[in-house]
Amino acid sequence: MSSINEILAGHRFFRGVDPIFLRILNECAAMVDFEAGEIIFRQGHDAKRFYGLDRGRVALELHTPGNGTVVIETLGPGDIFGSSWLFPPYNYEWDARAVQDTRAVAFNAECLRDICEADHDLGYDLMKRFAGIMRNRLQMARLQCLDIYRLSDGSRL
């Protein structure tokens, strides 16, 4: 089994992070496993952890009364989730469910915030990475809202 350090070093989100930072981040990290179907967290609950997915698939979902559960997005190896650790009041905004047997590196949110406050270089590096992910997800969410397949008037395609 790979160590947390090895997993972080090979993880897309942490690619290129200074090895010294990785060692510091490692202090807040633990490996976690989820079985397919297991709920990882619920909307509104305290965002105590943030996750870097190593294996498997996770669905971010929303329960809609009368319509059941709607999947907003699925995430795979190399993705992160649980970014509510960054913003007060530190509550998860979606449900997260393991779609397949899943392995992830879980970071203690409080520990991570303390580290970022203590070492602004590390904190800035992390924030830049989060900002990139959020920008990308916003762009993808906009595309989903656009309903591009319905918009297309092409018949040849």
Partner 1 sequence: MPGYLQIVGRITAVTLVDTNLMVPVPFLVRRRFRETTDTVTLEMVPQQSQDRIDFSPGQFNMLYAFGIGEVPISISGDPARPETLMHTIRAVGAVSSALVRMKQGAMVGVRGAFGKGWPLHEACGKDVVLIGGGIGLAPLRPVIHHLLNNRKAFEGVTLLCGARTPRDIIFRRHLKRWQRRTDFQVEATVDAAGATWLGHVGVVTRLVAHLDSHPSNTIAMVCGPEVMMRFAVWELLQWGLAPDRIFLSLERNMKCGTGVCGHCQFGPVFVCTEGPVVSFECIEPWFHRREV
Burial of residue 49 (number of CB atoms within 10 Å: 0-12, 13-18, 19+): buried
Q: How far apart are the first and last CA of the chain?
A: 46
How far is residue 37 from each of residues 78, 90, 93, 110, 112, measured CA to CA in Å?
Answer: 20, 24, 19, 27, 28
How far is Cα 155 from Cα 157, in angstroms, rounded to an integer? 5
Q: How far is the CB of 108 from partner 1 (least distance, A)?
A: 27
User: Toward partner 1, which CB reaches closer, 88 or 152?
Assistant: 152
How far is Cα 44 from Cα 21, in angstroms, rounded to an integer? 30
Q: How far is the CB of 78 from partner 1 (least distance, A)?
A: 6
What is the pattern of x (binds partner 1, CB under 8 A) and - over residues 52-91? -----x-x-x------xxxxxxx-xxx-------------
Beta-strand pair 102-108/95-98: unpaired
User: Toward partner 1, which CB reaches closer, 43 or 108?
Assistant: 43
User: Toward partner 1, which CB reaches closer, 89 or 152?
Assistant: 152
Could you say whether residue 39 binds partner 1 (CB under 8 A)?
no
**Count of residues that interact with partner 1, criterion CB under 8 A:** 34
Positions in the binding site for partner 1 (CB under 8 A)? 12, 57, 59, 61, 68-74, 76-78, 97, 99-100, 136, 139-140, 143-144, 146-157
